[in-house]
Amino acid sequence: MKIGSRTRRFIDESMVVRLATVSGSGQARVTPLWFIFAGGRFYMNTREASPAVRDILANPEVVLLLERDKGRRSKDVLRLRGQATFHRGSAVNRQMYLRSLLKYHLSAGGLRNLLATVGSLPIRVLYYRERAGEAGTIEIIPESAEMLPKP
């Protein structure tokens, strides 16, 4: 699927994607995640033991919902449908960690937030250390996109 300029701008101004998955038993789930958009695909770092990954392994069809977080606020939501795969311990993971670091932590807003919340760093380190499962990357190839008005 070719991503148009309006859709690309909307993606670039979004910081969180809501990943909608369906479990093997048919249970719907929505998980907010940080993401990187590169080469026409979405990438999200997470753990193999996460519910989203378990759902994707059972059913790779997903829906992504994005709202514009930066720049001008929008009355629209971008909905994309696509196919997801999970990559364990690969070069994709390292590349996405670096891109995430630049987008979320080393940006002007990210650095401001880090300085404002520096006291919570020990708790964050403990949280990530306790997360179960092997780290990996969800990759989503979008198949369709549409703008919808916010309800």
What is the per-residue pLDDT for 147? Answer: 92
Return the percentage of the chain with pLDDT > 90, whole number: 51
Task: Count the domains in the chain.
Answer: 1
Range of the domain at 77: 5-149
What is the per-residue pLDDT for 105? Answer: 78
Q: Supply the DSSP string of 114-133, one letter for each residue.
A: HHHTGGGHHHHHHHHHH--S
pLDDT tens digit sequence for 26-59: 999 999 999 999 999 999 988 888 999 999 999 9
What integer is the mean pLDDT of 124-128? 75
What is the per-residue pLDDT for 11? Answer: 94
Instruction: Residue 111: give its domain's CATH number.
Output: 2.30.110.10
pLDDT tens digit sequence for 83-113: 999 998 766 777 787 888 888 878 788 788 8
User: What is the rounded radius of gyration, in angstroms, for the C-alpha atoms of the chain?
Assistant: 16
Which long-range contacts (C-beta less than 8 Å, at least 24 apart) are formed by 89-94? 89/134, 89/135, 89/136, 90/136, 90/137, 92/43, 92/137, 92/139, 93/45, 93/135, 93/136, 93/137
pTM, two decimals, is: 0.85
Retrieve residue 8's tokens.
Answer: 């690309």
